[in-house]
Amino acid sequence: MAESIIGNRTRDFWSEVKRRSGGKTQPPNAIDNAQGDEEICYMFPSKYDELYNSVPYDHREMNDVMQEIDDLIDTKCNRGQCYYDHMVRARDVLKAMRAMKPGKSGVNGVISSDRLIYAPEELAIPDISVQCNDIS
């Protein structure tokens, strides 16, 4: 596979992995230094926070958006006047991941968008996240 990719620069590593594996892989038993489902479960929020905070933004604008959301929650959602389903489901996250632009890197190059875009579903959203109630 390496020779094929080197010989043809238009081929992408992660799409090649997905093509060759047929999208069928087992969820990992270890991620970074976390071993087993429970440790991975507890590591997930910190990794999400790291990824979420890896993009620079205007703090004043973000505070305005957060205040607007809080106001809407108080005036609509908490009073039964909200028409939206606020449940984030695994398929919603997967759809968003597949819509990412390829070739982008995360904090210190740890998680690239290609890794998320081309990862098999079993790895992209591990069952452990459902068990942690992070994603339902």
Would you list the domain boundaries of the chain? 58-84, 88-136
| Mean confidence (pLDDT) of the chain | 75
User: What is the arithmetic mean of pLDDT over 38-59?
Assistant: 82
* Token reading at 128: 């452990």
Lowest mean pLDDT among 15-19, 28-32, 95-99, 103-107: 103-107
Answer with the residue of higher pLDDT: 91 or 107.
91
Residue 51 pLDDT? 82
38 Cβ contact list (under 8 Å, min separation 6): none
Encoded amino acid at 82, one letter = C
d(CA 20, CA 58): 42
Q: Which long-range contacts (CB under 8 A, 24 or more apart) does 20-25 make?
A: 21/120, 23/120, 23/121, 24/120, 24/122, 25/120, 25/122, 25/123
Tell me the pLDDT band of 8, cut-offs 50, 70 and 90: low
User: What is the arithmetic mean of pLDDT over 28-51?
Assistant: 82
Residue 61 pLDDT? 93
Q: Record the pTM.
A: 0.34
